[in-house]
A and B are shown apart, each in its own frame.
Chain A
Amino acid sequence: MEYESVIGLEIHAELNTESKMFCGCGTHFGEAPNTQTCPVCLGLPGSLPVANAKAIEYVIKSGLAVGCGINLYSIFHRKNYFYPDMPKDYQISQYDQPLCINGFIDLDMNDYQTRIGITRIHLEEDTGKLIHIGGAGRIAGAKYSLVDFNRAGVPLMEIVSEPDIRTPEEAKAYAQKLRAVLITLGVSDCSMEKGSMRVDANISIRPKGSTGLGVKTELKNLNSFRSLQRALAYEIERQAKALNEGKPEEIVQETRHWDEAKGATSTLRTKEYAHDYRYFPDPDLVPMEFDIAYIDFLRSQLPELPNERKQRFIKEYGLPVHEANLLTESKAMGDFFEETAKLYKGDPKAVANWMLGDMSYYLNTEGLEIDETAVTPKHLAELLKLIDKGVISGKIAKEIFPEMFETGKLPQVIVEEKGMTQISDEAEISKIIDMVLEENTSTVEEYRAGKDKAFGFLIGQAMRLTRGRGNPQLINRLLREKLQA
C-alpha cells in the first residue's frame, strides 16, 4: 500500500538577548559552569522572575515575520515537573494564551509549492545542562551528575507547526526556511550544533488519500537538518513496514530517540510516563498586554524576509526560481551572493552557478556553513574576474577553487604561485597548433572531408599540449583559421 506521512515540527530557538528571560544574567555560550547565575535563575527560595521585554519583542517579531496573529493579551504559565536541570522544578512557559498564533511558511519545493501552517509561537525559559558521570552517560545508572545552570533561564521560543508536512524533504525545507527567517530577524543564532536551535518531529503515516490520522511518534535528538531528514525517512519506513506486515502494534504513541550513528530510532519513553504538567497561570508574573500601535511599530521594523528576498533576486538579478530559492535558504548565502555580485559587476548568474555548484559541493563535503570558511565574496568575485579577463580558464578556476577554499589565498596569488596563468600569447598558441596539425594529418583529412567531430579532437590535443592552460577562445580561432587556410 502507498502511504502518506503526516509530520509536525516543534522547533525551539534560543533568543540571542543580552540577558536571560527572567533575570539580568548574561547568556553567553561556553562560559565556565554556573558563572552566569543569580538567585533567580538558580531558583533560590524567595527569588522572583521579571520578564525580559526584549525577548517578548523578539517573539512578536518572529510571529509577524511568519504571518501570525499576535495576542494582545498573553500570559505565562507554570509547567510543573521534577528534573534536576530545572532550578524551580517548574518551567515558566506559555499555555493557552501564547504570544503568537496561526502563521505559515511557504515552501518552494522545485516542482511544487506548499504552505506549512504554524499553530503557535510561545516564549519560555531554557533549562540547565546535566552531565552524568559513570554509567552509560544517562542519568539512570550514573554514579553522580553535574549540573550547569548557565543556560537555565535563557529565553527560548517554541514554534509549533501544523501537521501539514508530508515528506522529510519538506520538513527539512521548513526548518531551514524558519531558521533563515529567525537569523534574518536577528533574534536567534539558530545553531543546531550549539543547541540554540532544536527540532523535535511528530510523525504518523496513513494510506494515501485517507484523511484519518495514524498513531504518531515523537522523534528527539535531531541535531542537524540531515538528522531530521534521515530520522523521518527511517521512521516512515519503520511504520510502513509495521503496517505492511500487519503489526500495527509496533507503532505506539511514544517518544523515540534518533541515533545518528546507527541511523535508527529507538524507544525513549512511552505514553505511560507522560507527565501531567499541571499548568496554571504564574502568579509571580503580570499579564502581557500590547496595543495595536506597538504591534504595527514592530511590523514596520521587520527587515526583508527570505521569501521577499527570493522574489527580489529573481527580479533584480534575473535568477531562475530554483537558484533564487537556494540562495535565500540562509541569510548568509544570500548576503554572500549579493556581496559577490556587487564586487564582481559581471553576470550574477555566474555567481549563482559557482555558489550552488563548486562552493556548495565543498561546503557540504566539509559540513561547513558559508560564513565559516576562508572564502569571502572577494575571493569568488576575483576568481570570476580572472576568468572573464582570460587570465585563467573555467577549468583552471575549478582547480584553484579547492585551494582557495582551504587556505583562503586569493585566486590571483594561487595562479601566480602555481604558474597556472592562461596562455594567451598568439605566437605560442600558433606554434602549438602547428604541432597538432603535423601530428594528426589523418584527423585533419577527416575534418576537411566534413567530419565536424574531428575539430573537437584537435582542440583537445592543443589543450593537452598546453596542459590545460591554453586560452580556449584563442585556440579555437587559430585552429579554425589554419584549417581553412
Chain B
Amino acid sequence: MELYQMTIHELHEKLLNKEVSAKEITDSVFSRIEEVEDKVKSYLTITKDVALEQAKLADEKIAAGGKVGPLAGIPTAIKDVMCTRGVRTTCGSKILDNFIPVYTSTAVQNLFDEGIVMTGKTNMDEFAMGSSTENSGFFPTRNPWDLERVPGGSSGGSAAAVAADEAVFSLGSDTGGSIRQPAALCGIVGMKPTYGLVSRYGLVAFASSLDQIGPFTKDVTDCAIVLNHLVRHDPMDSTSVKIDRPDYKEILINDLKGVRVGVPKELMAEGIDPKVKKVVEDAIKVLADNGAIVAETSLPNLEYGLSAYYIIAPAEASSNLARFDGVRYGYRAPDPDDLMDMYMRTRTEGFGDEVKRRIMLGTYALSAGYYEAYYGKAQKVRTLIVRDFNKAFEDFDVLVSPTSPTVAFKIGEKVANPLQMYLSDICTIPVNLAGLPGISVPCGTVDGLPVGLQIIGKALGEETILRVAYSFEQNFNWSEKPKLETRD
C-alpha cells in the first residue's frame, strides 16, 4: 500500500513511530498528483513549495520530540473558496483569477496550527454555485470513478482529490449539499457540521445563513479527527457557536443498539433513482440488522425546501457578490468609459452564467414589492422546515436518506437544464435550511458508481451522526476504489 492511499490515523501512527517522515508522505502524495492530476483535474492551484515547507516544519517538530497532533504532516487540499494568505484564491471564478488574499481563513489557520501540509487549492463551481463543478470558470473536474462523469459539486475538486488519493483529506464548503453530494458521487466521507460550528471567517460567502465548512475524508474516523480541529469558537464570526467540544474521535463506537433511525418518506419518494433507492434501503437494513430501531417518518414541508432555497441563497448571494466590482481587487474591465461601464463590464466579463443567473434571481427576490412574496415567504418555509425536523427529532436520534437522488451523471448532461441540476441537491438542501449536521458515507454502488447514505442529526448532534456513520462503516465493510478510467 502506498502512503498516499492511507488515512490520517494510519499515517499519524507511522509518523509517531518514525516509520515515515512528513516529507516522505508529502512526496508520495505529490507523486500521485503528478500521476493522475491530468486526468482528474482536482486542483486550481498546486502549492508544492508551501507543502514542502510545512512538511519540513512537521518533521523538525517530530524530530525534536515535540508533541504533534494527529494532523501534523498530513497532506491536505483546500477548496479554493477559503482565503489563504499569499496563495491565489479564485473561488473558481475568473473575476478572482489574480486575487491573492492578505489573510488566512480561521478554519484553514486552525489546521495550519495543527501542522497540516497544504497540497493546493481545489476546483469548484464558481462561487460554490453548482452541483457538478462544471460551473468552474477554469475547467471541469472529473469523477475518479468515471472520468466522463462529474464529481458532483460545488466542492468537486476537494472530493475528487481525496477519492483519487491526491490528498489525504480535504476541506469543502456546503451551502445546499456541496460537501455531501460530491462525497457521495466520489465514494468518500463528507460532512457538513451544524451551522455555526466551524468559523466562516475567511470563507468567501455564497449564502451566509447556509454556508458551512466541513471535511472530506477516506473514512469516518478521519472525519472525526478533522472535526476535532475545525470546531473552535471564533470571535471574528458572530454566528460562531461556543460549545464544550467533545472529542469526536473518542466517542466513535460500533454500537447501534437502540439508536432510533427515521427515514423521511419524502426523501425516498419519486425523483430518487430506483437503483439508488434500493442501495440506500439495503444500507438502512444494515443499520437495523445491527440493532438500530428503524421507522418511516415524514417531513411534510420538505417539498417546498428547494424553492425556498432558490430564493434565500440567491438573495444572499446577490448581496454577498456585490463587492466584486473591480474597485479594489480582482478583475477590472480594461479602459472603462465611466463608473457604470466599469461595474457592468467587470461583472459581465468576470462572472459566469450560473453566477449571473443567481445574482439576477436574488436581486429580483429582494426587490421592492416582491420581498414579501419571495424572500419573506421563503423564510417562513424555512421556519416550517425547522419545525418539521424538530418534530421528527422528538422520535428519532438520526434521520437517513440518499445523499443524492442519482449517481454521478455525465459531464454536460445537465448543463443546459439548470432546474434538473438544482434537483441534485433535493436531499441535502433541507439540512442547510434547518442548520443541521449531515454526513454522507459510501453505502454501495450502482453500475459501478458510488452511492452515499446521508445521516442527519439534530443541531450540534455531530456525536450521534458520527457514531451511526462509524457503526455503519464498520458493519458494511466497503472497500471499492475508483480506477480513474472512463467507463461506458
A278 touches B101 (CB 8 A): no
Any B CB within 8 A of the CB of A425: no
Chain B neighbourhood of A285, CB < 8 A: 238
Shortest C-beta distance, A148 to chain B (Å), equals 12
The size class of the interface chain A forms with chain B is 20 to 34
B239 an interface residue at 8 Å Cβ cutoff? Answer: yes
Contact A139 B339 (CB under 8 A): yes
* Interface positions of B (Cβ within 8 A of A): 82-83, 89, 91, 96, 99, 101-103, 105, 200-205, 207-209, 235-239, 315-316, 318-319, 322-325, 327-329, 338-339, 343, 363, 366-368, 371, 375
**What are 21 A-B contacts with C-beta separation under 8 Å?**
A42-B328, A43-B328, A45-B329, A46-B200, A48-B201, A50-B236, A50-B237, A82-B322, A87-B328, A89-B323, A140-B338, A276-B367, A276-B368, A278-B318, A278-B367, A280-B371, A283-B208, A283-B209, A284-B208, A284-B238, A286-B239
Are A45's CB and B91's CB within 8 A?
A: yes
Quick check: B238 and A45 within 8 Å, CB to CB? no
Most buried by B among A45, A49, A88, A89: A45
Q: Give the residue among A43, A140, A279 with the most B Cβ atoms within 10 A.
A: A43
* A131, B132: Cα distance in complex, Å: 45
Complexed CA–CA distance, A139 and B336 (Å): 13
Q: How would you classify the secondary structure of chain A's contact residues: helix, strand, loop or mixed?
A: loop
- In residues 43-92 of chain A, which contact B (Cβ within 8 Å)? 43-51, 78, 80, 82, 84, 87-90
Whole-angstrom distance between the Cβ of A137 and the nearest chain B Cβ? 15
B363, A278: Cβ atoms closer than 8 Å: yes
> With the chains together, A285 CA to B240 CA distance in Å?
10
Q: Which of A43, A50, A80, A276 contacts B235 (CB 8 A)?
A: A50
- Residues 243 to 293 of chain A near chain B (Cβ within 8 Å): 276, 278-280, 283-286
User: Considering the chains assembled together, what is the distance between the CA atoms of A332 and B232 in angstroms?
Assistant: 49
- Whether A280 touches B315, Cβ cut-off 8 Å, given contacts A44-B101, A286-B238, is yes
Majority SS of interface residues in chain B?
A: loop
Closest to B240 in A: A48
Whether A303 sits at the interface, judged by CB under 8 Å, is no
User: Is B339 a contact of A46 with CB atoms below 8 Å?
Assistant: no
The answer to whether B203 and A46 touch across the interface, beta carbons within 8 angstroms, is yes
Q: A139-B339, A276-B368, A280-B371 are in contact. Are A88 and B315 (CB under 8 A)?
A: no
Taking CB atoms, residues of chain A closer than 8 Å to B328 are: 42-43, 87
On chain B, the residues within 8 Å of A42 by CB distance are: 328
The residues of B that contact A280 with a CB separation of less than 8 Å are 315-316, 319, 366, 371, 375
Asked if B322 and A90 sit within 8 Å, CB to CB, the answer is: yes
Task: Report Cα–Cα, A140/B342, bound state, in Å.
Answer: 13
- In angstroms, how far is the closest chain B Cβ from the Cβ of A214? 24
Is the CB–CB distance between A82 and B375 below 8 Å?
Answer: no
- Chain B min CB distance to A194 (Å): 25
- Complex CA–CA separation, A279 to B101 (angstroms): 29
Interface centre among B202, B323, B328 (most CB of A within 10 A): B323
One of B209, B323, B363, B368 near A45 (C-beta < 8 A): B323
Which B residues touch A286, using CB under 8 A? 238-239
Residues of B within 8 A of A88 (CB): 322-323
Q: Contact at A44–B329, with CB atoms within 8 Å?
A: yes
CA distance A140 to B325 in the complex (A): 18
Instruction: Count A-B contacts at CB 8 Å.
Output: 97
Give the complex CA separation of A44 and B324 in angstroms. 9
Given contacts A45-B96, A48-B236, A280-B375, contact A147 B327 (CB under 8 A): yes
Q: Is the Cβ of A87 less than 8 Å from the Cβ of B323?
A: yes
Interface centre among B101, B235, B324 (most CB of A within 10 A): B101
Asked whether A46 and B366 contact (CB < 8 A) given A84-B327, A90-B319, A278-B319, the answer is no
A320 in contact (CB, < 8 A): no
Given A43-B328, A45-B323, A48-B238, output 5 extra A-B contacts at Cβ < 8 Å. Answer: A42-B328, A44-B102, A46-B203, A276-B368, A280-B316
- For the complex, give the distance between the alpha carbons of A283 and B319 in Å: 11
Q: A42-B328, A87-B323 are in contact. Are A278 and B366 (CB under 8 A)?
A: yes
* A88 to B205 Cα, complex, angstroms: 12
Tell which of B205, B325, B327, B371 touches A46, judged by Cβ atoms closer than 8 Å: B205
Task: Please measure, in the bound complex, the distance between the C-alpha atom of A127 and the C-alpha atom of B154, giving whole angstroms.
Answer: 34
Nearest Cβ in chain B — how far from A300, in angstroms? 29
> Within the complex, what minimum Cβ distance (angstroms) separates B328 from chain A?
7
Indicate if the CB atoms of A46 and B322 lie closer than 8 Å: no
Tell me which residues across on chain A come within 8 A of B239, comparing CB atoms: 283-284, 286
Q: Tell me which residues across on chain A come within 8 A of B96, comparing CB atoms.
A: 45
Q: Specify which of B103, B203, B204, B319 is in contact with A80 (CB 8 Å cutoff).
A: B319
Contacting B at CB under 8 A, from A135-182, are 139-140, 147
B202 contacts which chain A residues (CB < 8 A)? 46-47
Contacts of A51 in B (CB 8 A): 238
Interface membership of A39, Cβ < 8 A: yes
A43 to B239 Cα, complex, angstroms: 18
The minimal Cβ–Cβ distance linking B355 to chain A, given in whole angstroms, is 14
Chain A residue numbers with a CB within 8 Å of B103 are 39, 44, 47
A48 to B338, CA, bound (A): 30
Q: Closest A-chain residue to B83, C-beta based?
A: A46
Which residues from chain A contact B371 at a C-beta distance below 8 Å? Answer: 278-280
Instruction: Name the residue on B nearest A89 (C-beta).
Output: B322
How would residues 33 to 47 of chain A score, 1 for a CB under 8 Å from any chain B CB and 0 otherwise? 000000100111111
List B contacts of A44 (CB < 8 A): 83, 101-103, 329
| Cα distance A294–B238 in the bound complex, in angstroms | 21
Are B366 and A80 in touch, CB under 8 angstroms? yes
Contacts of A82 in B (CB 8 A): 322, 325, 343
Chain A residues near B315 (CB-CB < 8 A): 280
Contacts of B201 in A (CB 8 A): 46-48
Which of B200, B205, B322, B371 has most A Cβ within 10 Å? B322
Quick one: which of A45, A49, A90 contacts B89, CB cutoff 8 A? A45
B239's nearest neighbour on chain A, judged by CB, is A286
Across the interface, do A45 and B83 meet the contact criterion of CB distance under 8 Å?
yes
Interface string of A283-317 (1 = CB under 8 A from B): 11110000000000000000000000000000000
Q: In the complex, which residue of chain A has the Cβ closest to the Cβ of B339?
A: A139
With CB as the reference atom, state the residue of chain A lying closest to B237.
A48
Nearest chain B CB to A76 CB, angstrom units: 10
Contact B101 A46 (CB under 8 A): yes
- Chain A residue numbers with a CB within 8 Å of B366 are 80, 278-280
Q: Which 5 A-B pairs have the closest CB atoms?
A: A89-B322, A283-B209, A278-B366, A283-B208, A46-B202
Q: Which B residues touch A43, using CB under 8 A?
A: 323, 328
* Contact flag A80-B329 (CB < 8 Å), given A45-B83, A276-B368: no
Cα(A328)–Cα(B91), bound, Å: 57
Q: How far is the CA of A220 from the CA of B309 in the complex (A)?
A: 41
* Complex Cα gap A51–B367 (Å): 26
Most buried by B among A51, A78, A279: A78
With a cutoff of 8 Å between Cβ atoms, the chain A residues found around residue B338 in the complex are: 140
Cα separation A82 to B325 with both chains bound (whole Å): 8
Closest to A88 in B: B323
A277 — nearest CB in chain B belongs to which residue? Answer: B368
Which residues of chain A are within 8 angstroms of B363 by Cβ–Cβ distance? 278
Contact partners of B325 in chain A: CB under 8 A: 82, 84, 89
Instruction: Specify which chain B residues have a CB less than 8 angstroms from the CB of A49 in the assembled complex.
Output: 238
List chain B residues, Cβ under 8 A from A279. 366, 371
Q: Are A46 and B235 in contact (CB under 8 A)?
A: no
A51 to B323, CA, bound (A): 20
Q: State A42–B101 Cα separation when bound (angstroms).
A: 12
Complex: chain A residue closest to B343, CB-CB: A82
Shortest beta-carbon distance, A43 to chain B, in Å?
5
Contacts of A139 in B (CB 8 A): 339
Could you say which residues of chain A place their CB within 8 Å of the CB of B316?
280, 283
Distance of A23 Cα from B203 Cα, bound (Å): 17
Shortest beta-carbon distance, A224 to chain B, in Å? 30
